[in-house]
Amino acid sequence: MRVVAAALLILLGAWLQGSPLNDLLTWQIDLLLVVVISWAVGTGPRAGLAIGFAAGAIQDILLGGGMTYAVLKGLIGLGAGALRPLLHDRQGMVVAPLVLIFGLLQDGAIALLLGMRGFGLPWNEWMAIALPAAAAGALLGWPLSLGIRWILHRTRNPWALREAQQ
């Protein structure tokens, strides 16, 4: 059931991210990044890697960027899931700083890759674009993470704990 919920969240996030609704905003919010981090914090590194790679692959298909976003979002999901034991994952606000930090890291990696191809921006122009977009994603990450936490709670396996105890 969680696989279906994850697939629906990825498709909904990709649809909203690619829709004209996102173009009305001043900064383009990476909804798939918020979904990946929220899911990874709620489930752990393996599930974070899987949903990150799937969300990145969908984004690469839509943008035609090779495997860039699939690898980046997979690593971000793995990193956010690995931080789960250190975080109080029942708090929705814990996702906001993670979205900000990982959003800047993702945009920095993309800028570095574009810079190696000769399409780079100066540091101050890149920060003028990346920082507000990451901050907007962080603000949106808190309510979205509460919804994803509710979905994870509703789709949990009640027998998993009993099987682990036997």
Assess contact for 77 and 50: CB atoms under 8 A: yes
- 164 domain residue, yes or no: no
Assess contact for 47 and 40: CB atoms under 8 A: yes
- 166 domain residue, yes or no: no
Report the domain count for the chain: 1
Q: Which two tokens stand for residue 148?
A: 């994803």
Instruction: Kindly indicate the confidence band of residue 111, based on its pLDDT and cuts at 50, 70 and 90.
Output: confident
- 69 domain residue, yes or no: yes
- Whether the per-residue pLDDT at 155 is higher than 50: the answer is yes
Query: For residue 92, what are the domain limits?
Result: 2-158
State residue 119's pLDDT score: 67
Assess contact for 43 and 32: CB atoms under 8 A: no
H helix runs in 27-94, sequence order:
31-43, 45-63, 68-82
Q: Name the one residue in this structure whose structure tokens are 């990476």.
A: 30
Each residue's pLDDT tens digit, 139-154:
888 888 889 888 988 8
More confident residue, 103 or 91: 103
Range with the largest mean pLDDT of 33-37, 108-112, 130-134, 155-159:
33-37
Assess contact for 162 and 16: CB atoms under 8 A: no
Assess contact for 12 and 35: CB atoms under 8 A: no
- Whether the per-residue pLDDT at 102 is higher than 50: the answer is yes
pTM for the model stands at 0.85
Q: Which two tokens stand for residue 145?
A: 């993470």
- 51 domain residue, yes or no: yes
- 49 domain residue, yes or no: yes
- Whether the per-residue pLDDT at 23 is higher than 80: the answer is no
Each residue's pLDDT tens digit, 47-70:
999 999 999 999 999 887 688 899
Closest residue by Cα to residue 99 from 154, 152, 159, 31: 31
- 163 domain residue, yes or no: no
CATH number at residue 41: 1.10.1760.20
- Whether the per-residue pLDDT at 38 is higher than 50: the answer is yes
- 101 domain residue, yes or no: yes
State residue 140's pLDDT score: 86
Assess contact for 62 and 14: CB atoms under 8 A: yes
- Whether the per-residue pLDDT at 112 is higher than 50: the answer is yes
Least confident of 27-41, 66-80, 115-129: 115-129
- 127 domain residue, yes or no: yes
